[in-house]
């Protein structure tokens, strides 16, 4: 009987040790999952922050410029009435991504999602009606010229559209040339212009592509 009692005691001890081991393992698994989730959230926050800082480089330019030290490479007018100015720009200080390994020469980013942010505080934003004229000019060209346009990488990575009080520009932040849809740009303009106004304590905004490959900005143009 004594031997049986001692055997049962050891079994109880073994069971307690096993339970403790499993509980410790579950605790470690929970900690690992929590750390992984926090790291994922932190990376998402940092990626958006990097994109916004890149955009801030352009926002800091004077009202007459899209970016500091810009050079106009070409200028033309689009739309049914040829009243929307298009400029292809060099932005020497614009930030871009690290060079890819064995990257293709061009990529189609038409249809890619972007995240919208408004510029605060209120005051000095563009007239949404002027911005809508830019959007309609893009749609007109999409129907009459073609749905896509190309934008190069590097310092020649910016296309700006201007009508009256409204300025919108597209910045390729990748290291390769991009193809984008005119109607997609029109849709972004028509969303930002009326939704980033004084009633939202804003004065324009931007939409940053999910992977920070490009962003589209809408803000006030200088009216001469």
pTM metric for this prediction: 0.71
Residue 12: its pLDDT value, please?
55
Residue 4: its pLDDT value, please?
41
Residue 104: its pLDDT value, please?
57
Q: Is 205 helix (H, G, I), strand (E, B) or coil?
A: strand
The token pair that represents 211 in the structure block: 């992977």
Residue 120: its pLDDT value, please?
94
Domain residue ranges of the chain, discontinuous segments joined by +: 54-220
Residue 154: its pLDDT value, please?
87
pLDDT tens string 1-21: 444 444 445 555 555 555 555
167 has which bridge partners? 162, 219
What number of CA atoms fall less than 13 Å from residue 24's CA on the CB side?
A: 6
The token pair that represents 45 in the structure block: 């926050």
Please say whether the beta carbons of 179 and 190 come within 8 A: no
Q: Which parts of the chain have pLDDT scores under 50?
A: 1-8, 41-63, 100-102
Please give the order of strands across the beta sheet that includes 158-163: 71-78, 84-90, 158-163, 166-172, 214-220, 205-209, 114-118
Residue 91: its pLDDT value, please?
81
Residue 40: its pLDDT value, please?
52
Residue 33: its pLDDT value, please?
58
Cα–Cα distance measured from residue 21 to residue 170, given in angstroms and rounded to the nearest whole number? 57
């Amino acid at each position: 009987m004594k031997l049986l009692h001692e055997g049962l005691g050891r079994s109880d001890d073994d069971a307690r040790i096993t339970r403790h081991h499993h509980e410790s393992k579950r605790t470690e698994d929970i900690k690992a999952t929590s750390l992984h989730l926090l790291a994922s959230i932190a990376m998402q926050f940092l990626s958006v922050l990097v994109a916004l800082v890149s955009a801030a480089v352009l926002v800091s330019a004077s009202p007459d410029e899209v970016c500091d030290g810009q050079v106009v490479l070409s200028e033309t007018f689009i739309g049914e009435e040829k009243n929307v100015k298009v400029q292809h720009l060099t932005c020497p200080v614009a930030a871009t991504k690290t060079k890819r390994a064995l990257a293709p020469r061009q990529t189609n980013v038409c249809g890619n999602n972007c995240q919208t942010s408004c510029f605060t505080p209120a005051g000095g934003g563009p007239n949404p009606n002027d911005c809508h004229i830019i959007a309609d000019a893009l749609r007109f060209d999409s129907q009459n010229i073609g749905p896509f346009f190309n934008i190069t990488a590097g310092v020649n990575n910016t296309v700006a559209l201007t009508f009256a009080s409204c300025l919108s520009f597209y910045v390729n932040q990748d290291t390769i040339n991009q193809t984008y849809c005119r109607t997609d740009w029109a849709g972004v303009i028509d969303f930002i212009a009326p939704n980033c106004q004084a009633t939202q304590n804003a004065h324009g905004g931007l939409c940053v592509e999910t992977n920070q490959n490009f962003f589209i900005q809408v803000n006030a143009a200088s009216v001469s």
